């Protein structure tokens, strides 16, 4: 074999290697989006009622609350933390907000501010214990999960808070130009969160802390301050989710939001946020939430047992974590 032939063979092998690398990179970057697309195609084939405007709107509205929580949880996980309190904070913010939302009682801005404030305070407490108490995030957020649920029950005397103003109920149950209003809230929150994460110093520092907290400290980043801010933001979004859900239910339910924190974590992880920290995007979390929403909705249309839906959801989460671990290697 002469030199010219050897060069041709070598070039061909190098081209094949580059193609394989490109394919792997594409799968790693857009793998879950492809999974979502395949799920949509499969569900459309199995159920003609799936790919209708009304049903798609219903799916997006159903995932809106989980997505809003998930945006904050995504940032927390990027810092290598976790937030188990989101569902309970949602319930507490919901009952507090609805207590100020009776007809003719206060302007609509007051219950909204109160709900957001409750969420932000709960989140800042979580962040303070993680940053300054130097506790593993699992511990303070687990404590907050229990305490916030208790406060919600105490505040509401264990009963739903009803008789809400029409303007408040519009937040979670109204339509604007034929689109459910919670979708607008989710979209707005996603845009703000994306900008914070990708185009601000706040976001760069979050990735730096998640990548290597010690290196971030050496670089002059006030890690404790930004950890508190991250958890505060996550709590703020849990409060917003509580406002949307209580509005949709037309009641402040102290028992609302059970397991929502797990669904939010699942949406983030399925969407590519690494539990090891340093990796994650808002768009990925939306894809993860859509995968869960399409799965639940499609299986409902196919009349699959809710018990099996839980099993499949758990399997998808485990698969996503294994995929993340493989990508890390």
Question: Residue 156: which domain range?
Answer: 61-328
Query: Is position 111 within any domain?
Result: yes
What residues of the chain score a pLDDT lower than 70?
1-30, 324-329
Contacts of 65 (CB under 8 A, 6+ apart): 90, 182, 241, 244, 245, 248, 260
Q: Are 237 and 72 in contact (CB under 8 A)?
A: yes
Kindly give, in sequence order, each residue whose CB lies less than 8 Å from that of residue 315, ignoring residues fewer than 6 positions away.
none
Q: Where are the alpha helices (DSSP H) in 100-222?
A: 109-131, 138-155, 166-173, 181-199, 201-211, 213-218
Neighbours of 51 (CB within 10 A): 13
Sign of CA dihedral 179, 180, 185, 191: negative
Task: Provide the number of structural domains found in the chain.
Answer: 1
- 45 belongs to a structural domain: no
Report the CATH number at residue 171: 1.10.3470
298, part of any domain? yes
Give the pLDDT score at 316.
79
Cα(216)–Cα(212) distance, rounded to whole angstroms? 6
In a domain, 6, yes or no: no
Rounded Cα distance between 25 and 240, Å, is 36
Please tell me the pTM assigned to this model.
Answer: 0.91
Asked if residue 72 is part of any domain, the answer here is: yes
For residue 54, being part of any structural domain is answered with: no
Rounded-to-integer distance, Cα 243 and Cα 101, Å: 10
| 51 in a structural domain | no
18 in a structural domain? no
pLDDT of residue 248: 95
DSSP state of 274: -
pLDDT tens digit sequence for 48-75: 889 898 999 999 999 999 999 999 999 9
């Amino acid at each position: 074999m002469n030199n010219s032939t050897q060069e041709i063979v070598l070039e061909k092998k190098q081209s094949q290697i580059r193609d394989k690398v490109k394919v792997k990179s594409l799968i790693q970057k857009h793998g879950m989006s492809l999974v979502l697309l395949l799920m949509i195609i499969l569900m459309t084939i199995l159920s003609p009622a799936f790919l209708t405007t009304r049903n798609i709107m219903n799916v997006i509205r159903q995932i809106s609350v989980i997505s809003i929580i998930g945006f904050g949880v995504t940032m927390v996980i990027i810092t290598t933390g976790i937030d188990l309190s989101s569902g309970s904070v949602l319930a507490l913010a919901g009952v507090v907000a609805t207590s100020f939302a009776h007809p003719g009682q206060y302007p609509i801005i007051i219950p909204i501010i109160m709900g957001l404030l409750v969420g932000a305070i709960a989140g800042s407490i979580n962040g303070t214990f993680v940053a300054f108490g130097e506790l593993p995030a699992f511990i303070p957020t687990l404590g907050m999960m229990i305490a916030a649920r208790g406060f919600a029950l105490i505040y509401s005397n264990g009963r739903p808070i009803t008789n809400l103003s029409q303007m408040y109920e519009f937040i979670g149950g109204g339509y604007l130009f034929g689109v459910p209003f919670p979708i607008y809230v989710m979209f707005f929150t996603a845009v703000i969160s994306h900008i914070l994460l990708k185009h601000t110093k706040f976001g760069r520092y979050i990735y730096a802390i998640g990548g290597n907290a010690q290196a971030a400290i050496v670089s002059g980043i006030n890690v404790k301050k930004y950890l508190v801010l991250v958890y505060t933001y996550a709590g703020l979004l849990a409060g917003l989710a509580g406002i949307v859900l209580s509005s949709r239910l037309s009641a402040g339910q102290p028992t609302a939001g059970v397991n929502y924190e797990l669904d939010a974590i699942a949406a983030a992880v399925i969407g590519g946020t690494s539990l090891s920290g340093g990796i994650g995007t808002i768009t990925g979390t939306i894809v993860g939430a859509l995968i869960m929403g399409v799965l639940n909705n499609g299986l409902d249309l196919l009349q699959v047992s809710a018990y099996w839906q839980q099993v499949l959801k758990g399997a998808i989460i485990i698969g996503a974590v294994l995929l993340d671990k493989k990508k890390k290697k």
